[in-house]
Structure 1
Amino acid sequence: MFPNLDAEMARRKITRAMLAERIHKTPTTLSLKLNGKAPLTLAECIEIKNEVDPECTVDYLFQTEE
């Protein structure tokens, strides 16, 4: 659902399980949020951005596929 986030995670060799641990969520919860099946808050987006790449913008990382 968020191709830029997936690409940046792949560049940094960060798996969803690793990211989930870093932001104190279960892998299942993170997966639901990143797949659009559960709501994702702005605070969570910022937390994810800071873990993946603080230099990227939230807008860039969470741009959806069109």
Structure 2
Amino acid sequence: MSETDVPAARETVAGAFDAAAELPAAEADALRDAASAAFLSGLTTVSLVAAALLAVTGVVAGTVLRRHAS
């Protein structure tokens, strides 16, 4: 892997997969697995935070609407 591939591999999943194409099979598989795991971990975290914010927004909206309806 060239020195220019290292930043790309650290920044994006696509960059990691492109950099893996230049590595031996075992190292390429490890890099692809690590990139995929990091992506899924981030996606899971963002999804959970978004779901929590949506739930809080729903509670706040319900509370505000009940107060205005009375």
Between Structure 1 and Structure 2, which shows a larger proportion of helix residues?
2
Q: Which protein shows a greater Rg? A: 2
Whether TM exceeds 0.5 here: the answer is no
TM-score (norm 1): 0.29
Structure number with the bigger relative contact order (C-alpha 8 A, sep ≥ 6) is: 1
